[in-house]
Structure 1
Amino acid sequence: MKSAFILWRKSIFTRLIATFLLIISPIYLVAFFIYNWGINSVKDELKSTMMSQVGFYASNLDTEIQRVNALLFNTLYDSNLTDLSNLITKLSDYDVYRSVNNLQQRLLVLQNSNLYVKNVTAYIPSADMTVSSNTGIGPLNPEELRFFNGARTDAKSQLLFYQDDIYLRALLPLDINYRLEKKMHLLTVTLSIDRIRAALGQLETRQGSGAALLLPDDRLIAPGKMKGDFAARLKAELDSRLERGDSSGSILLKDEGNSYFAVYVRSAYLNTTMVQYVPQEALTEKADRFKTIFVLFSCAAVLIVVLYMLSSFKFIQQPMLKLIRVLRQMEKGNLNVEVTHARNDEFGFLFQRINGMMRNLNQLIDQVYKQQILTQRAELKQLQSQINPHFLYNTYFVLYNMAMTDDFDNVKLFTHQLGSYFQYITRNAAEDVPLHVECDHARTYCDIQSLRFYNRIVVDFGDIPPGYRDKLVPRLILQPVIENAFEHGLSDKKDSGLLTIRFEEEYEGFAITVEDNGPALSDDRVRELNEMLLLESSDAAEMTAIVNIHRRLRLKFGGGSGIVFRHGGNGGLKASIIVRDKEAGTDEEIADRG
């Protein structure tokens, strides 16, 4: 979590991408809501359309049946029918024929007046006959007559079911026993199931859809052959809804892995229920268009994000990474790198300025470096030329005394030491030497001075720490400091002179301390000596070599290195030659770090 926050906080590219995603997300969410709203709207519209269709066909069937019932009851009081029923014994054969013919014509008109009527029949018990719109005069079936006289129905339309046919009847509102006893006439209309199926077939609007009519006798009329399992599930679901009092609504059904959506409307007049069903996919058929559009929009959004990320990476992140790599090379001290940019944009302008800046830096560094090298070499030449004439006189005088006393062994040793000494300070080889080589030269110098100050001064030269023996240091940084101690601290000592050279661990480096037991110096004098080290040049001849050493150490190892003067523990002066790694910093910076 923390690393992710740091990446967000530090990477411009990451923030650009995140910002772009935050901008495009609301647009995508709006599109998603529009997509869902569109799908739901299409589904609701299809449901509404189906409900309207079913309601229209159910209402149309009610209307047609009501019209048939009205015509049927009007025909019940037709004069020809009443004459045949009440005056059959008084009519002549011609009158009977004429009345039957007129009645049949009236029944035929009733049949042809409606699409759903298949046959109209008049039952005349007093004449022991029936008159049909299709077949004319026929025998009376007592069983049929008794059924139609006594049958009861909950439908207002007097819808009856007899021997797999659907009937409407019209009879006088009298007691059944009275009607049978007086042989009262009645009328029936046979409805065409095939025509009802044909009408329901108009609701089959797409592949796999269909419609059905649930009759009061629990029969289900459908245009085609309906699977038994599906029909049973549909009837069971409709019965359940009707028992709850739902006169209309929608149903979800499954059959052999297929899902269906159905709407139904109940007719209180006919006591029937009309239902229309479609496959579940039909609800999403038009919605799939929205889905396709949404998928295309999603792909376009992803493509836009990818293109934005690629373009941002190409035009922003790549130049930024290139700039970071160049800056890291500069941090490592490599100023010879050059950054290129093909486009003439803001990064091109920036890179041109960086390249120009690095060229100028290289020129300035080259100039300053060469100047420093020349200065160091001049200072080294000056240091090498500062051979104290008194040192020469004194060493020659010591050599003379040895020769006069025939001390040839010491003469050989002393001349060898002098040769090594002058060879080291006069050679123009490498300016940096290992620490142990510089210390060997200083030891040689101390041995020469010990012979000069025989029985007056003792030199205690400590061992070099093993870890720093091969540390490269500038030449002639230790011997001039020791020489300064001999000449200014111990030269007046008649006896008991002590010079101590020690190596001490320091923060990020080491220190070489040169301490004498000469005359004590005041605090002001010690402070004055330290201040002289900070001057560009010193008027004091005896300090010139020391100042040169101090400056060379600081140039080589940084501001934390150099020479520091302090009061010695034996009463004299203590000079510390401090050598630190260049990255350690100054004393103040080290103190701030604790």
Structure 2
Amino acid sequence: MRYSFKNPFELYIFHMVNKDNKDNKTNLIAVVQVVSIRYCNKMRKSIFNRILTAFLVVIIPLYSISLIIYSIGMADLKESFTREIRTRAVYDFKSLESELNHVIGFQRDYINKYNLQILSIGPSSLSKFNKREIILDTKRSLCALKDMSPLVEDAYLFIPSINKIISTNNDYSKLKEDFFLASNDSTADKSIISFLNDTLYLNVQFPIELTTSLKTPYFKIIVELSRNSLEEKLRWISPYKGGVILLDSLNTWQISSHELNSSEKKAIDEIMSKKLTIISDQPLNIKIDKIKYMVIVQQSDLLGIVMVVYIPVNEIVGPLNHLTLWFWIISLGAVLFSTFFSYWIYRILIIPLRDLQRGFSQVEEGDLDISLPSNNSSEFQYLFKAFLRMVNKLDNIIHEVSEQKTRTRYAELKQLQYQINPHFLYNSIFNIHRMSRRYKDEQLIQFTKRLSSYYEFITKSPQEILPLKDEMLHVINYIEIQKIRFGERIRVSIDDIPGGMDDFSVPPLIIQPIVENAYEHGLKNTISRGILNIHMKKSAKVLSIVIEDNGCDLTDSILKDMQARLDELTDLDDYTGLLNVHRRMQLYYGNEYGLTFSRSEMGGLQILMIMKEKEKNAYG
């Protein structure tokens, strides 16, 4: 019988079986236990945990690096936005300050005009015409002052000595007399900007510095600032929600970009109470009513005004919060993907491995009735099929070896039945041989010698294999015995063993039973001219032996029935020995080897024996 092994595992198992046939199944299970325990120990290290750990070792650093880069990027964006807002606030405040200084500079240039000084100091020395000319020129200058900036609403000239107000349109109803009287106060020169009736005024007097002897200025040029223009300017400074407030350092007046709510008023009071009027390179952060504000404070020492820009932090980081939200959504997606990926790996890798592990455990416990999932379309399906094929082959090996033992024991039993009392029979034949030599009967001497050799061969300890030359010597010895029986009725022709095939391994007693079958069934009734031929042919590692006779008792129906029973391995009645030989050959060489029955060209039975060359000590 021929066995083919696709991996060392199967060959090692069969080698262990061949090593000791006393308990084949125990040997097989022991070998499988060694291999499967080693495999299962590896499995118990949890491949899934190692894969998951490796996955996390890669993902966690990458995610940490991404988180760090994201945090740094967000911090840089926040700093960039903050710097942009502060830069814009500083620039716009400087622009406002420059524009107001430009107006103030015009006022200061104008107060140095000689005609204006003459009008305020010595008006009595001027004629009406000259006074009118000076007044008209003053109005033209005031109109020029009014038109020089959109922040200027109107311009006035106040001469306390004659208690006269000159304006661009002779409309100074907005200016109450108290306002001009206040200019005579000793503190009037401390601030260029004045606030009256919700209106800001720029005041420049002549002389600029008063003395103890001159407590009242000769005249003042007063510029009324447009509140609407100021509020629009403030709104443009900060496009964000929040606001911009312009106030004096004492917080006696305020102009804001919009109407303040209670929380914003509280915030401004908080800022001013903490005297946060010092220009800082970095914005200040305060929290009012659970609202966090970023505050930018700018101060003009020349004008005595403070600009406060306050913006809720959420307005700055609001757009960034969307990025943060998307980052965490992506992070959550990555976690969900990792979870799904882990589950997917578990389904396609770990579960099939556990099924395979379960199969090995069953083999380890001696259970060869194993079922594995058949709906897996991955590489595991091939592994499952290969494993099941291996288990089926192991199961077949167990049954075949067991059957071989049974048939071998049956052959031994048949030999014992033929032997009767082998020692007594052998000794009796030996005594007959001695007696024949005493009486010098050469034919009897040869007969007893052949018969003694025959029984010596079949009564010695059984062997699993022996060389072809020994089996053929036994066959020749048997034929010589039959020649004494049949005489010249049967002519025998035996080919020499092909070159290099003397040590060809064969199971014992596989050729002699076929020759015996030819004598007992094919040529038994032959009266004369019986022929028995034994041909041998070698092809590669295959040896073919043809044993044929010219018996006349073989019919087509008998031949067909014999071949059918041989294929089905059912008893052949009188031909049981042939079935025994055929099955033992299959067990030893493989199922494709054994016996084939056909009719010889001489009309009798032809039996073809096909065997393959085996390596030394190989069994499988």
Verify the 8 A CA contact 1:125 1:185 in the aligned structure 2. Answer: yes
Distance 1:313 1:70 in 2: 82
Verify the 8 A CA contact 1:131 1:138 in the aligned structure 2. Answer: no
Q: Match for residue 315 of structure 2?
A: 282
Q: What is the root-mean-square deviation in Å for CA atoms of aligned residues?
A: 3.8
Verify the 8 A CA contact 1:123 1:129 in the aligned structure 2. Answer: yes
Does structure 1 residue 55 correspond to structure 2 residue 80?
Answer: no
Q: What is the aligned-residue identity percentage?
A: 23
User: C-alpha displacement at 1:67, in angstroms?
Assistant: 0.7
Q: How does 1:305-316 map to 2 (within 5 A)?
A: 305-316=338-349
Cα 1:177–1:192, aligned 2, differ >3 Å: closer, same or farther?
A: farther
User: C-alpha displacement at 1:227, in angstroms?
Assistant: 1.9
Does structure 1 residue 98 correspond to structure 2 residue 133?
Answer: yes
Q: Match for residue 3 of structure 2?
A: none
Q: Match for residue 364 of structure 2?
A: 331
| Structure 1 unaligned regions, length at least 5 | 1-5, 384-594
Choose the corresponding residue for 1:295, options 302, 323, 328.
328
Does structure 1 residue 235 correspond to structure 2 residue 265?
Answer: no
User: C-alpha displacement at 1:371, in angstroms?
Assistant: 4.9
Q: Which amino acid aligns with 1:90?
A: S
Q: Which amino acid aligns with 1:66?
A: N
Distance 1:196 1:12 in 2: 74
User: C-alpha displacement at 1:320, in angstroms?
Assistant: 0.6
Q: How does 1:245-284 map to 2 (within 5 A)?
A: 245-247=278-280, 249-284=282-317
Indicate the SS of the match to 2:276. Answer: helix
Q: Match for residue 458 of structure 2?
A: none
Task: Report 1 or 2 for greater relative contact order, CA contacts < 8 Å, sequence distance ≥ 6.
Answer: 2
Verify the 8 A CA contact 1:8 1:14 in the aligned structure 2. Answer: no
Distance 1:297 1:110 in 2: 61
User: C-alpha displacement at 1:242, in angstroms?
Assistant: 3.2
Distance 1:8 1:362 in 2: 25
Q: How does 1:480-559 map to 2 (within 5 A)?
A: none
Distance 2:173 2:255 in 1: 30
TM-score scaled by structure 1?
Answer: 0.56
Distance 2:275 2:140 in 1: 45
Cα 1:164–1:315, aligned 2, differ >3 Å: closer, same or farther?
A: closer
Q: Match for residue 618 of structure 2?
A: none
Does structure 1 residue 224 correspond to structure 2 residue 258?
Answer: yes
Does structure 1 residue 362 correspond to structure 2 residue 395?
Answer: yes
Q: Which amino acid aligns with 2:317?
A: T
User: C-alpha displacement at 1:177, in angstroms?
Assistant: 4.3
Verify the 8 A CA contact 1:153 1:159 in the aligned structure 2. Answer: no
Distance 1:273 1:256 in 2: 24
Distance 2:373 2:400 in 1: 26
Cα 1:303–1:54, aligned 2, differ >3 Å: closer, same or farther?
A: same
Verify the 8 A CA contact 1:88 1:126 in the aligned structure 2. Answer: no
Indicate the SS of the match to 1:310. Answer: helix
Verify the 8 A CA contact 2:276 2:297 in the aligned structure 1. Answer: no
Distance 2:382 2:372 in 1: 11
**Of 255-264 and 49-58, the range deviating more from structure 2:** 255-264
Indicate the SS of the match to 1:273. Answer: strand
Verify the 8 A CA contact 1:197 1:222 in the aligned structure 2. Answer: yes
Does structure 1 residue 195 correspond to structure 2 residue 229?
Answer: yes
Q: How does 1:395-414 map to 2 (within 5 A)?
A: none
Q: Which amino acid aligns with 1:188?
A: I
Q: Which amino acid aligns with 1:224?
A: H
Indicate the SS of the match to 1:326. Answer: helix
Verify the 8 A CA contact 2:295 2:310 in the aligned structure 1. Answer: yes
Distance 2:382 2:177 in 1: 114
Q: How does 1:385-396 map to 2 (within 5 A)?
A: none
Q: Match for residue 321 of structure 1?
A: 354
Q: Match for residue 116 of structure 2?
A: 81
Cα 1:271–1:83, aligned 2, differ >3 Å: closer, same or farther?
A: closer
Q: Match for residue 16 of structure 1?
A: 51
Indicate the SS of the match to 1:166. Answer: strand
Distance 1:315 1:229 in 2: 61
Does structure 1 residue 350 correspond to structure 2 residue 383?
Answer: yes
Distance 1:18 1:248 in 2: 49
Choose the corresponding residue for 1:175, options 205, 210, 219.
210
Choose the corresponding residue for 1:27, options 56, 62, 65.
62
Does structure 1 residue 72 correspond to structure 2 residue 107?
Answer: yes
Q: Which amino acid aligns with 1:91?
A: L
Q: Which amino acid aligns with 1:329?
A: Q
User: C-alpha displacement at 1:200, in angstroms?
Assistant: 0.7
User: C-alpha displacement at 1:12, in angstroms?
Assistant: 0.9
| Structure 2 unaligned regions, length at least 5 | 1-40, 417-620
The number of aligned residues is 379
Verify the 8 A CA contact 1:212 1:276 in the aligned structure 2. Answer: yes
Q: How does 1:430-449 map to 2 (within 5 A)?
A: none
Distance 2:43 2:269 in 1: 63
TM-score scaled by structure 2?
Answer: 0.54
Cα deviation code 1:78-111 (max 9, x no counterpart): 2431231234213222222222121111112112
Indicate the SS of the match to 2:214. Answer: helix
User: C-alpha displacement at 1:360, in angstroms?
Assistant: 1.9
Distance 2:293 2:209 in 1: 48
